[in-house]
Amino acid sequence: MNTDFFGGVDVVVKYVLEGHDRGVNWASFHPTLPLIVSGADDRQVKIWRMNDTKAWEVDTLRGHMNNVSCVLFHARQDIILSNSEDKSIPVWDATKRTGLQTFRREHNKFWILGYHPEMNLLAAGHDSGMMVFKLEREHPAFSVRILLQHILLGDSTTLQQLRIERLQN
């Protein structure tokens, strides 16, 4: 059976990127920069730069102990997220190319990643379901604290004290 996957549209190979030692499982583009990131069965995450005529390897991120199944650039933060069959999700600094934080799951391999376009959330699919992580600590919108006859109400810039009076019938 001969199937035309591209519906008659001419497809031209622009770049052939070689550098991984084993099969590539995932590749994704940076949302604004001429960069590509890839993850493979060689347990490596590679960063590639491209221009109009060529693409080349810029750096390799090492640290996974098993196949890398998904990797992507975050759309609003300067980080790279990857996951692996080693049950980990490292968060990499995209500029310094160092690890910032690692999420782990003891009994499930991670397979796929996605980030929320507006909120600071990361979704990760694993063997028995999905987990949603907050990528960094955030200040709460409001904090409430009750001290005897006063309530303190505040956000990151203001603090208000309200006096509580007992109402009698």
* 30, two tokens: 């940076």
Contact between residue 37 and residue 72 where contact means Cβ atoms under 8 Å apart? yes
Choose among 4, 86, 15, 10: nearest CA to 48: 15
Predicted structure pTM score = 0.73
Residues 42-97 have pLDDT tens digits of 999 999 999 999 999 999 999 999 999 999 999 888 999 999 999 999 999 999 99
Q: Cα–Cα distance between 144 and 104 in angstroms, integer?
A: 32
Q: Domains in the chain and their CATH numbers?
A: 24-134 (2.130.10.10), 140-169 (no CATH)
Residues 6+ apart with CB under 8 A from 82: 39, 45, 61, 64, 68, 70, 71, 72, 89, 90, 92, 113
* Angle at alpha carbon of residue 74, lines to 69 and 75, rounded to 5°: 135
